[in-house]
Structure 1
Amino acid sequence: MFPTTALEALAAVGVPGYFDTEEGLLIAHPADVSQERALSGEHVVLTPPDSMVPGWSAIAYEPDGTPDFADITVYDVPEDDITRCAQAVAQWFTDPRPSAGAVLLAALTQYGITSYDDHNGMTYAISMDPAAPAAGIRIRPHLSIGDRNGSVEHVPAAHTGWSLFAHGEDGEPVGDPLFVSGDGGLVDCDADSVAAAEVIADYLNRSAR
């Protein structure tokens, strides 16, 4: 039952896939790649929930020099929802690939707020002083925002909530989060990014008075 249901969910979002009976793996691959060549290029392995893992997971394998592959988590949420997992896989194969970080940056742009990603794709930093140079933002008063899953590069369908912190003169976090959403499950990335951007804009306006 699981391969059929999962393959139907992938087909519904335009992603081809097949069940490798020999390996017992469900494989998804780009639409312009044949099943026969799927494992020689970028592909995603989907794993169903079990007694140890409560939700679906999807791991991408990208060529990293023959015969090696780099593995990247596409979707790993404790929810038994193959539809959302399939949506995340479809976004992963989209070119250009969408990211939750890009959704957040677009929301910040609506307020004229500039942010900087200088933390290896994990968080964004926003200076408390718009006139301050980009270099060294994190050792001055600033805001930082990141996703619960540790990256801003995940696809929007795998978003689990933004966390926003204020940092003091030494760059260290001060007090409780200014904004935090989600409880480990999925969160609507568009709505969450708009809400986070509103909090950031309000905080910066109050701090400038």
Structure 2
Amino acid sequence: MEEYVEGDEVHRDITFDAVVGADGWVHPVGAGLMHVDGTAYRGVTVGPGVLPDMLARAAAGFGTAVGRALAADGYRGWFDVDFVATASGRLAPTEINLRLTGPAVAFHVQAALDRLRGGRHIVRTADQLPLGARLPPAALREHVADLALRCRSLGATLLVTIPTAAFDAAPYLGVAIAARTASVAAAAETAVRQANAALGDLFRDLALSPSGDRRAAGQRGPR
């Protein structure tokens, strides 16, 4: 049991990620804003301006101190420290994960794009975007190609991170969206969500007859 912390409405769930190198030095990776649904992690946004400087510095300071303690105890590798931020700007640490965490995907994508294209990118991951229909592999590839074009037209880059649930009973897609600004990343995510939902429209005009034959809704059978 732990104390309940009333989080800030905008910057509630924060993560700080770092690596303890083989030499024992702590190498900060960055801080990000996690997207949490109830208690379930759904993604993260990382990049310049995502968090207020005060929160980012506080998370980095505490997280780096945790890393030094881990290093002194012999730990080597990736870790993160998660926080809940209050409206007053106080950070309440909630857990430490000694592994390659979910936000690591966003940080790796950001580092790769910064290196390839220069400048700084904002990367937003969404691990469970619902699909309006179940898609076999060929249809999924076609849909993803269309999503990539939609994002590119907005100035964003789309990468698929979780393609394996597209044919599940409740199908979904995991993606990473990279852009130069938070507003472009948000617009691209909205476009992806809308295109995913529109997949259901392809089947809305079909009805299943008692004999199992598919007919357009409202179409009469032979008399």
Q: Structure 1-normalised TM-score?
A: 0.31
Higher strand share: 2
Q: Structure 2-normalised TM-score?
A: 0.29
Q: Which has the larger Rg?
A: 2
